């Protein structure tokens, strides 16, 4: 049976950060694991290069769009090559054959009657490349996903009949419980679909940087919507619409994605595939979000972790190990040098590295580096049994997408190895003339190390090749079958000396991230490591306090001309006596109602322009079918008093 594993294709509007690296590491680990087991595996990654966002980024950088895309795409490819990512294909959505495949798919959907032409009027978020209905906007203006300002766009558009697929999708989710992994993420998708699906605009006329329409439609005004273009990469990479030689890999076994793009993969993509009469992917694996030292990473904060910088400082494979071990798949995770260094020193250097060094040292001293498993069963059947139990349990953890548990279990092997040395004290046995027993202990540990190296190989390919080199064998499907499946022991061999694999790290090797200005409570919270939550909807208290809420007194209020919704307010926030906030509350309050009253203000919101006016903050309000009311302090409070 063949396997097909994918990462998202990354936008070429900026360079890779550790979030991108994480998705790629997980997918690469799984691909390597499947290959190790002898599966014929196709692993796809690449770059997403069309759309308004890329066009605008290129313009900002004063570069022709294609050249800009070429340059950034190359930075991703070079990084993955440097990290030894074992992709079988690196797709670019500007590849000719990809674009032909997208046009073909569009034609098929059109001929089927799933695509029709109409007009679209709506609020468009360029950053998310998504239209939102007014009801979903924050404050009547802002994107519910990224918080940026949206633009009103009216244009002719082709629509995909997503609404036709509502029932089919719900049926599919119900019948395939493990389609969305982890399961805790499935509900948000199901509820979204149950809330009703509107037809999806799948072309744009407001810019030209996209896949052209199929010539059969003879409609040059439009280019394809970037998400239609992007999602189709998973089949065009296999030759869809052209030389279909690799289509036998379809359906994908798993698409790895961040939780931010789960909806596109679990709703739109299956609907497109149903329309194309193609089978659906077996799993969508949605992972959580990485922060740095508990803070959201962003260019403006200057705290984005560059995977290249981390790899140069600590080693790329150590980073792979850390990211996979640190966070349960699906949950949010935090990158901190302290946590990373702790794992390098205790798990990699102490548990694994020292064990190998001890074996090299003892075998050199006791038997001129020769290892022979002849007496292992006689003296160490208990350890062999424990080892085999661990080996047998491992498979299920990767199948359930639990790399952290996989590694945790795998580490039990090193505990068995270190334990048996401690208990048997081979150095005492050598002195007492019990050489056979001493050598059996060295040999059992060498066997444990060999098998552990095979199973760790998908996570740390180069490091484990060095271990295998020291133990004079090669890691491949055959040795996997012999050592892990058939549980055979190593034959007689000579150990090779290798330099220590994991030098201890005494202090941080990278500059710390610039500190944000935390409130005292946030600071206190930072002392404890954020604990991964079982329920992803829960937040740390520190996250709550990242929002600066303050009591404000409305000093001035006026209507915004030509706007049905907006009022312009000047608010006294204590230290700042005239904060301008433009709020969508005109239908519920007149300016006179507000002047002199108190409100609660989100005071650290990025300023944004609403109908040409700067707005620096947001009012807290509650809205239901009876209307909207502001949330205010129960008793008058000094302007600027923190809320929380």
CB atoms within 10 A of CB 640: 17
What is the nearest approach in angstroms of ligand ME8 to the Cβ of residue 165? 18
Closest CA to 547 of 642, 442, 432, 445: 642
The secondary structure of residue 490, as a DSSP letter, is P
Q: Can you tell me whether residue 46 is helix, strand or coil?
A: strand
**Does 289 engage in binding with ligand ME8 (CB under 6 A)?**
yes
Does 429 help bind ligand ME8 (rule: CB under 6 A)?
no
9 binds ligand ME8 (CB under 6 A): yes
The binder of ligand ME8 chosen from 26, 126, 231, 271 (CB under 6 A): 231
User: Could you give the CA distance from residue 143 to residue 134 in angstroms, rounded to a whole number?
Assistant: 10
C-beta closer to ligand ME8: residue 10 or 480: 10
What is the closest distance, in whole angstroms, from the C-beta atom of residue 59 to ligand ME8 in the complex? 19
Shortest gap between Cβ of 193 and ligand ME8 (angstroms)?
A: 19
Closer residue to ligand ME8 (CB): 298 or 494: 298
As a whole number of angstroms, the distance between CA 164 and CA 569 comes to 45
Q: Which stretch binds ligand ME8 (CB under 6 A): 6-14, 390-398, 403-411, 580-588?
A: 6-14
Residue 42 or 414: which CB sits closer to ligand ME8?
42
Closer Cβ to ligand ME8, 97 or 556, answer by number: 97
Among 109, 197, 230, 391, the residue binding ligand ME8 under the rule CB under 6 A is: 230
- Which region, judged by CB under 6 A, interacts with ligand ME8, from 110-118, 216-224, 226-234, 602-610? 226-234
Candidate list 4, 10, 120, 321; residue touching ligand ME8; CB under 6 A: 10
Q: Give the residues across from 117 on adjacent strands.
A: 158
Q: Under 8 Å CB-to-CB from 318, ≥6 apart: which residues?
A: 340, 344, 348, 502
* Residues 207-216: b if buried by 16+ CB within 10 A, e if exposed: bebbbebbee
In whole angstroms, give the CA distance from residue 7 to residue 4. Answer: 11
Residue 20 found at the interface with ligand ME8 (CB under 6 A): yes
Identity of the residue, 159 or 290, whose beta carbon is nearer to ligand ME8 in the bound complex: 290
**Nearest distance, CB of residue 8 and ligand ME8, angstroms:** 4
- Tell me which residue of 367, 334, 364 sits closest to 529, measured CA to CA: 334
Judged on CB neighbours under 10 Å (0-12, 13-18, 19+), 289 is middle
Q: Which is nearer to ligand ME8, 23 or 548 (CB)?
A: 23
CB of 86 to ligand ME8, least distance (A): 18
Q: How far is the CB of 48 from ligand ME8 (least distance, A)?
A: 3
Residues 6 or more apart whose Cβ sits within 8 Å of residue 497: 360, 364, 369, 470
125 makes contact with ligand ME8 (CB under 6 A)? no
Q: Between 260 and 593, name the residue whose CB sits nearer to ligand ME8.
A: 260
Q: Is 25 in the site for ligand ME8 (CB under 6 A)?
A: no
- Which position among 8, 214, 307, 530 is part of the footprint of ligand ME8 (CB under 6 A)? 8
What size, in residues, is the chain?
A: 644
- Calpha distance 613→355 (Å, rounded): 65
CA-to-CA distance for 439 and 429, rounded, in angstroms? 9
* Beta carbon of residue 286, minimum distance to ligand ME8 (angstroms, whole number): 8
Which residue lies nearest ligand ME8, judged by its C-beta?
A: 19
Binding-site size for ligand ME8 (CB under 6 A) equals 19
* Closer CB to ligand ME8, 21 or 108, in the complex: 21
Residue 290 interacts with ligand ME8 (CB under 6 A)?
Answer: yes
Mask of contacts with ligand ME8, 251-280, x by CB under 6 A?
------xx-xx-------------------
Closest CA to 231 of 150, 160, 326, 337: 160
Q: For residues 231 and 505, which CB has a smaller minimum distance to ligand ME8 in the complex?
A: 231
Degrees to nearest 5, angle at CA 245 with 476 and 286: 65
Is 11 a binding residue for ligand ME8 by CB under 6 A? The answer is yes
Query: Is residue 19 at the binding interface for ligand ME8, with CB under 6 A as the rule?
Result: yes
CA distance 92 to 233: 8
Closest distance to ligand ME8 from the beta carbon of 474 (Å): 33
| Cα–Cα distance, 23 to 15 (Å, whole number) | 15
For residue 3, the minimal CB distance to ligand ME8 (Å) is 19
User: 550-570 in b/e burial notation, b at 16+ Cβ within 10 A?
Assistant: bbbbbbebeebeebebbbbbb
Kindly state the helix (H) or strand (E) to which residue 326 belongs, with its residue range: helix 316-326
* 9 in Cβ contact with 51 (< 8 Å): no
**Toward ligand ME8, which CB reaches closer, 257 or 467?**
257
Does the protein bind ligand ME8 through residue 23 (CB under 6 A)?
yes
Please state the closest distance from residue 159 (CB atom) to ligand ME8, in A: 20
How open is the CA angle 439-443-445, to the nearest 5 degrees? 120
- Which of 436, 420, 361, 358 has its CA nearest to residue 386? 420
Give the range of 227-235, 432-440, 453-461, 481-489 binding ligand ME8 by CB under 6 A: 227-235
DSSP state of 86: -
Which tokens is 484 given?
Answer: 């892990």
Q: Which residues bind ligand ME8 (CB under 6 A)?
A: 8-11, 19-20, 22-23, 48, 230-231, 233, 257-258, 260-261, 289-290, 297
């Amino acid at each position: 049976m063949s396997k097909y594993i994918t990462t998202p294709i990354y936008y070429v509007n900026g360079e890779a950060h550790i979030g991108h690296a994480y998705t790629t590491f997980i997918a690469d680990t799984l691909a390597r694991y499947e290959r190790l087991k002898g599966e014929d595996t196709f692993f796809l990654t690449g770059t997403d290069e069309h759309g308004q966002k890329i066009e605008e980024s290129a313009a900002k950088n004063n570069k022709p769009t294609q050249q800009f895309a070429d340059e950034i795409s190359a930075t991703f490819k070079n990084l993955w090559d440097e990290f030894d990512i074992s992709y079988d294909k690196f797709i670019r959505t500007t590849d000719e054959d990809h674009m032909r495949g997208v046009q073909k798919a569009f034609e098929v959907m059109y001929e089927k009657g799933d695509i029709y032409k109409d007009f679209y009027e709506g609020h468009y978020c360029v950053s998310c490349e998504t239209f939102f209905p007014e009801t979903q906007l924050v404050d009547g203006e802002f994107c519910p996903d990224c918080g940026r300002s949206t633009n009103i766009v009216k244009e002719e558009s082709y629509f995909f009949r997503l609404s036709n697929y509502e029932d089919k999708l719900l049926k599919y989710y119900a019948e395939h419980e493990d389609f969305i992994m982890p399961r805790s993420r499935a509900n948000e998708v199901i509820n979204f679909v149950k809330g009703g699906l509107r037809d999806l605009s799948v072309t744009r006329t407001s810019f030209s940087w996209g896949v052209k329409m199929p010539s059969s439609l003879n409609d040059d005004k439009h280019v394809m919507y970037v998400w239609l273009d992007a999602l189709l990469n998973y089949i065009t990479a296999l030759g869809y619409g052209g030389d279909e030689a690799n289509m036998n890999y379809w359906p994908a076994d798993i698409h790895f994605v961040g939780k931010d793009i789960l909806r596109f993969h679990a709703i739109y993509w299956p609907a497109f595939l149903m329309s194309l009469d193609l089978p659906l992917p077996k799993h969508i694996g949605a992972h959580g979000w990485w922060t740095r030292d508990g803070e959201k990473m962003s260019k403006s904060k200057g705290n984005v972790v560059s995977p290249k910088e981390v790899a140069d400082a600590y080693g790329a494979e150590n980073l792979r190990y850390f990211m996979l071990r640190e966070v349960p798949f699906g949950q949010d995770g935090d990158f901190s040098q302290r946590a990373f260094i702790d794992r390098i020193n205790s798990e990699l250097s102490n548990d694994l590295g020292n064990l190998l060094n001890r074996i090299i040292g003892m075998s050199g001293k006791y038997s001129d580096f020769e290892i022979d498993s002849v007496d292992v069963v006689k003296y160490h059947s208990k350890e062999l049994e424990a080892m085999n139990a661990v080996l047998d349990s491992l498979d299920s953890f990767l199948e359930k997408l639990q790399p952290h548990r996989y590694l945790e279990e795998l580490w039990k092997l090193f505990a068995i190895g270190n334990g048996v040395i401690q208990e048997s004290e081979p150095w005492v046995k050598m002195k007492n003339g019990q050489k056979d027993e001493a050598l059996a202990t060295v040999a059992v540990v060498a066997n444990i190390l060999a098998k552990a190296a095979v199973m760790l190989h998908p996570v740390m390919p180069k490091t484990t090749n060095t271990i295998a080199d020291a133990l004079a064998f090669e890691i491949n499907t055959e040795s996997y079958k012999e050592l892990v499946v058939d549980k055979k022991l190593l034959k007689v061999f000579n150990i090779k000396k290798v330099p220590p694999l994991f030098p201890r790290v005494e202090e941080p090797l990278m500059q710390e991230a610039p500190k944000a200005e935390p409130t005292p409570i946030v600071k206190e919270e930072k002392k404890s490591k954020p604990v991964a939550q079982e329920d992803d909807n829960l937040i740390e208290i520190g996250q709550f306090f990242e929002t600066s809420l303050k009591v404000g007194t409305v000093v001035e209020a006026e209507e915004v001309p030509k706007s049905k919704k907006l009022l312009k307010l000047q608010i006294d926030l204590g230290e700042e006596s005239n904060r301008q906030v433009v709020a969508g509350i005109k239908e519920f309050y007149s300016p006179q109602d507000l002047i002199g009253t108190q409100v609660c203000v989100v005071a650290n919101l990025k300023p944004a322009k609403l109908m040409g006016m700067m707005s620096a903050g947001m009012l807290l309000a509650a809205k239901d079918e009876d209307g909207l009311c502001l949330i205010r302090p129960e008793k008058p409070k000094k302007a600027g008093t923190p809320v929380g």
